[in-house]
Amino acid sequence: MTCSLKKELIEKTIAFHGHNCPGLTIGIRASELAMEKLDIHNAENPVCVTETDMCGVDAIQFLTGCSFGKGNLIHKDYGKSAFTFYDRDAKKGFRAVFNDLARDETDRDNRIKQILQAELTDLFTTQEVDVPPVSPARILKSIPCDSCQELTMESRIRLFDGKSLCIPCFQDVEQKI
């Protein structure tokens, strides 16, 4: 089986990212898996927690509609090609870990081709999840940093010596001690 997504949709994904590469192809196939398992096309409230910041995350944004700005794309910097997809309305989800079957392939185009042509069950190890991977995004009050005066989300303010500091200003003061 090859990728079930239409060629023109894949080409639009490549254009969104800016180039074609194996990493983007992994994200295309992970998105395809999410569309298949969770019917992401019709899901009103999909979520993706990505454990990597590689090129494939662009495919996930483009194909699933999950984005950092909407609060339904969460990055956890674990350095793993792993993605948890969840449909909050259906209350179901899964975690997919990429099995790099083509890791020994050094030719970029052949690697992309192998990833596109592989069975999804061979590409990813999946495990069902029955609880949301993250809470819905909340809008919190913004507070001015007492040092730089920039507005900072309340939950990111640090208190130091009676002052409300944003994280960079807090780190600057903390480093000087």
Q: In Å, how far are 142, 157, 163 from 149, measured between CA atoms?
A: 11, 12, 12
Q: Are 161 and 123 part of one and the same domain?
A: no
**Locate tokens 């060629």: which residue?**
7
Residue 93 lies in a domain: yes
The C-alpha atoms of residue 42 and residue 174 are separated, in whole angstroms, by 48
> What pLDDT does 133 receive?
64
Domain with 146 in it: what CATH number? 3.30.60
Checking if the pLDDT of 41 tops 90, the result is no
Q: Are 120 and 161 part of one and the same domain?
A: no
Least confident of 3-7, 20-24, 136-140, 170-174: 136-140
> What pLDDT does 159 receive?
92
Degrees to nearest 5, angle at CA 169 with 168 and 172: 90
The C-alpha atoms of residue 115 and residue 107 are separated, in whole angstroms, by 12
Checking if the pLDDT of 155 tops 70, the result is yes
> Which helix (H) or strand (E) covers residue 160, if one does?
strand 158-160
Q: Which residues pair with 151 in a beta bridge?
A: 144
Q: Are 125 and 146 part of one and the same domain?
A: no
Provide the domain limits for residue 163. Answer: 142-176
Q: Are 165 and 81 part of one and the same domain?
A: no
**First CA to last CA across the chain, in angstroms?**
60
The number of folded domains in the chain is: 2
Q: Are 43 and 68 part of one and the same domain?
A: yes
Among the listed residues 75, 89, 95, the one whose alpha carbon sits nearest the alpha carbon of residue 34? 95
Checking if the pLDDT of 18 tops 80, the result is yes
Q: Are 51 and 15 part of one and the same domain?
A: yes
Residue 13 lies in a domain: yes
> For 13, what's the count of Cα atoms within 13 Å in the CB-facing half-sphere?
28
> What pLDDT does 102 receive?
62
